[in-house]
Structure 1
Amino acid sequence: MTTPRFDIIGQAISDASRTRMLCELMEGRAYTNKELASAAGITPQTATAHLRMLQDAGLVTAEKSGRCVYHRLTSPEVAQALEQLAAIAPADSLYRNQQRKAGDLATVRSCYDHLAGPLAVNLTKAFLARGMLVEDNGGYRAVSSEVWHRIGVTLPDRVGQKPFVRPCLDWTERQPHVAGPLGRQILTHGMEAGWLKRHAHKRGLLVTAPGRAAFDQILDLRPVEVAMG
């Protein structure tokens, strides 16, 4: 029997600077060494050593584009694992400190490839209340509804090996939001339809006026539930 090397992962995430960089990468975008160093408050040279350790642990991957090297999380599974760890972290955790420093960026945000924060939690509650999602053996199962198409979701014709939708415990709300391909489709459609956009000066997402109207008309979400960002 092969024993998982939790010690390698534990060592990789035990440093505050590396944790800051991982938090930055959980947004789902790729960043340069210099950008991650700035986010962590360290020098680029120090960031290089930290990123090498994160790569050796299988948490981060690097890809070259032109003269720049960009770093991103290795997979959605890594992002989900980090999200779950953040959800059980103490209330005075590093992320809470980052949240205050960045101006409450957690109101609306992305977690790698899906929505997170209050909006994502309230969307999930709406899906369950409408019967679009049902709880199934500790997970979720999507039920056919014309509403899915209106928010950019195409349900699969058959059940695949990996779940189409799964619950992901939100690290600030401590309640589940949807992840998996369904969550990815919602975020992608929201960005392409202009319902969501990136903040110009900080991490996180902003819900636009068309987005607020769409969430209200399609899912009856009140402005406070949409969390304008």
Structure 2
Amino acid sequence: MATPRFDIIGQAIADASRTRMLCELMEGRAFTNKELASAAGVTPQTASAHLRLLQDAGLVVAEKRGRCVFHRLSGPEVAHTLEQLAAIAPMDSLYRAQRRKAGGLAEVRSCYDHLAGPLAVALADALIARGHLREEAGGFHPVAGAVWTGLGVTVPEHVGRTPFARPCMDWTERRLHIAGPMGRQILTHALEAGWLRRPVRGRGLEVTAPGHRALHDMLGLGGVLARGTTSKSCEEA
């Protein structure tokens, strides 16, 4: 019987620079070598070596777009595993330093394909408090109602093998937010409806005025403020 090679994964994440790159990629977007080098505090040449190791371990994939090569996590299962590890891992000063520099790194952000940070935790709490979502047997279970249409969520008629609303431990708040297909639908709808946007400068996401109104009217969450993620052009990166 084949034995899982945990040693390969362990070697890949057993370096502070590589874990900082992985945390950057957990946002869900693709980044260039230079952007990841900046996030990790290393030279682009050193970043290239780190990225090759992460690719060999199956954690990261590279995609060539025009003259640029972009790197991203290889899939949602990698993001989920990293998120769970982050929830139990000790924090160094990197997060606090980045949060000061970015003016509120963790307030509103995406974690791969779903919403994370204080807003995501508050959203889950509000849905539970208002009876739209039940937390039982280690999972989230949606209760039929109009709120889901407003949030852009299509609740399946039948429960499949994959949890529709998966509780996920937020790595900065150490409390649960919503992941899985429901989390993906909420984030997608929020971006398409203009409730959230990715700004040109900074990290994370911004809550727009329409987003404040919508979240306040539906769930009483209109007081959330945040600043967002850094986005650079190919030439700058």
Q: How many angstroms does 1:91 deviate by?
A: 4.1
Pair 1:149 & 2:152 matched: no
Matched AA of 1:66: G
Structure 1 residues 1-229: aligned runs within 5 Å: 1-223=1-223, 226-229=224-227
Q: Is the 8 A contact 1:23 1:95 kept in 2?
A: no
Q: How many angstroms does 1:11 deviate by?
A: 1.2
In 2, distance between residues paired with 1:10 and 1:28? 22
Q: How many angstroms does 1:212 deviate by?
A: 0.6
* Aligned-partner SS, 1:54: helix
In 2, distance between residues paired with 1:103 and 1:7? 37
Q: Is the 8 A contact 1:208 1:228 kept in 2?
A: no
Q: How many angstroms does 1:6 deviate by?
A: 2.1
Q: How many angstroms does 1:2 deviate by?
A: 3.9
Q: Is the 8 A contact 1:118 1:227 kept in 2?
A: no
Number of aligned residue pairs: 227
Q: How many angstroms does 1:47 deviate by?
A: 1.2
Identify unmatched segments of 5+ residues in structure 2. 228-237
* Cα root mean square deviation, aligned: 1.6
With structure 2 as the length reference, what TM-score do the two structures score? Answer: 0.90
Q: CA 1:210–1:17 in 2, change beyond 3 Å: closer, same or farther?
A: same
* Aligned-partner SS, 1:106: coil
In 1, distance between residues paired with 2:177 and 2:127? 10
CA offset digits 1:126-170 (Å, max 9, x no partner): 111122211232111122111000011111232222111101100
Matched AA of 2:63: E
* Aligned-partner SS, 2:152: coil
Q: How many angstroms does 1:58 deviate by?
A: 1.4
CA offset digits 1:49-92 (Å, max 9, x no partner): 11111111111111222222211011112112212222222243
In 2, distance between residues paired with 1:140 and 1:56? 35
CA offset digits 1:144-199 (Å, max 9, x no partner): 11100001111123222211110110011100000011001111111111110113
Q: Is the 8 A contact 1:212 1:228 kept in 2?
A: no
* Aligned-partner SS, 1:115: strand
In 2, distance between residues paired with 1:69 and 1:125? 40
Identity %: 70
In 1, distance between residues paired with 2:183 and 2:4? 28
Q: CA 1:9–1:101 in 2, change beyond 3 Å: closer, same or farther?
A: farther
* Aligned-partner SS, 1:107: coil
Q: How many angstroms does 1:119 deviate by?
A: 0.3
Q: CA 1:14–1:101 in 2, change beyond 3 Å: closer, same or farther?
A: farther
Q: Is the 8 A contact 1:84 1:169 kept in 2?
A: yes
Q: How many angstroms does 1:99 deviate by?
A: 2.5
Identify unmatched segments of 5+ residues in structure 1. none
* Aligned-partner SS, 2:61: strand
